[in-house]
Every structure is written in C-alpha cells, then in structure tokens.
Amino acid sequence: MNKYVLSLLILCFLAIFVIMSVDTAFARTFNNDFETGDLTDWEEKTGDAFDFQPTWGDNPTARDRGQPSKHQGDWWLGLAEKYQGPDKGAALGQNPGDLAGNGNPDLPQGTLTSIEFTIVGETMNFLMGGGNRPWGDVNPCCVNLLINDKVERTMTGSNTETMTRREWDTSDLKGKTAQLRVIDNHTGGWGHPNFDDVHQADRNGDNIPWDRVLAVDARGKLAVSWAQMKKYY
C-alpha cells in the first residue's frame, strides 16, 4: 500500500471519528414557539389535552373573551382552544374561537414533554397564561423544567387567557441536561395552561439562539466551536 492510499485511509478514519463524536442531532433549532404548526420537538404526549394543539390565532378574542392571548407569531399552546388555523382547522370543520372538550375546555387532560437540551443560559423566559393550578396541587396545570425527571422549576398562569412574559433563574443549573413539560391535569375552572415562545438568555438578558443551545449535546460536547459558544457561558 503506497503512502498516498494510506494517508487517504487515515483521513477518512479521522473524519468518521469526528462525525461520530459529535451529536449532530443537537446542531439544529428547536420548535420553541410552535411556529411549525405542530408538536415537532415535543416528543412525548399523554392524554387528550394536546390533541388539537398548537392552536392558531387569538382564539379568546375570536369568542369575545375580553382576554387576548398575546401569543407570539401565529401558533401557541392554548389548552382551552380547538382551532388549528385557516387551512388545517377549516378542513377539520373548526372555527376561530372553538373550545376544546366539546365545549368544556377544562375537561381534557394530559402532558407534553420536550426534547432534551442543555442549560446554557443564566435565565429562561417564556409566555405563560391560563389557570393558577400550581405544581404540588392534586391536579396541577403548569409548566415544569425537569432534570433527570425531577422538577427544578415550575410556573403557572394567573387565571387569565392573556399570556405574560415569565422568567426562571437557571444560573445554578448550567451545563445540565433538561426538558420542559406542559401539564394539564385539572378538569375544573381554569383547569388549563397557556404557553408559548420559550428562550434561554445570557447574563445581559439577550436570548440565546436555539441552534447554539442545541449544539451542546447531553455529554457537554460542542458541535460548534468554543469561540461560537463561549459568550453564552
């Protein structure tokens, strides 16, 4: 075997090793605001509460609720809602303002869990509304931040369909692998959460692009260069 062929084989081997050592599945964006119009990246669904999610448009206003959703973009999680837009929703016979649960919007229950991601920010912020049914209640409606399936942070709405920007301090969790879980386990009044547009932010309060967050795999290995990531640490 001549030196040229040997050198080529060595280069091929090294290339394969590098590709296998980097979890390329994490080097992409995350459906953090549901603008795909579906539940992409939210890998585990239980129950029936999320069967018609995400919802499209300001459905509370469409039914004259007097509490605008104030969602980001077109799509969001509104667990009282049953309208999936002018295309899919119309094809299914849905109309703006339709309610889930055959008119009893708090009746469906279930959970929705995101893919894993690494905590790289000082904080995590998101839009939250719906019922004030906290984690720890017998039948909570909330959003939880999980690490190894343990609840590290939790948030509820304030008994209004209108979402406002909420924030968790995650500085002590940096480097850990986490998931988000949206929980709808209440069938009474205000028994649903609203959720949208989640981000991690750096020490200056600037949101970190999700393709940078997901470039850090569960082992802490960088799928991009340290120069690209270090400003977020």
| CATH for 163 | 2.60.120
**Overall domain count for the chain:** 1
Cβ 141 vs Cβ 185: under 8 Å: yes
**Is residue 80 in some structural domain?**
no
**Is residue 69 in some structural domain?**
no
**Is residue 222 in some structural domain?**
yes
* pLDDT at residue 197 greater than cutoff 70: yes
- In 3D, which of 38, 31, 33 has the Cα closest to residue 87? 38
Instruction: Extract the tokens encoding 66.
Output: 């007097």
In this prediction, residue 135 has a pLDDT band, given cuts at 50, 70 and 90, of: very high
Average pLDDT over residues 183-199: 97
* pLDDT at residue 48 greater than cutoff 60: yes
* pLDDT tens digits for range 71-123: 999 999 999 999 999 999 999 999 999 999 988 999 999 999 999 999 999 99
**Is residue 85 in some structural domain?**
no
Q: How far apart are CA 101 and CA 53, in angstroms?
A: 13
**Is residue 15 in some structural domain?**
yes
**Is residue 153 in some structural domain?**
yes
173 or 221, greater pLDDT: 173
* pLDDT at residue 132 greater than cutoff 50: yes
The runs of H, that is alpha helices, within 22-130 are 59-62, 90-91
Is 111 in a helix, a strand, or coil? strand
**Is residue 68 in some structural domain?**
no
In which domain, by residue range, is 24 found?
Answer: 3-50+100-232
Is 113 in a helix, a strand, or coil? strand
**Is residue 56 in some structural domain?**
no
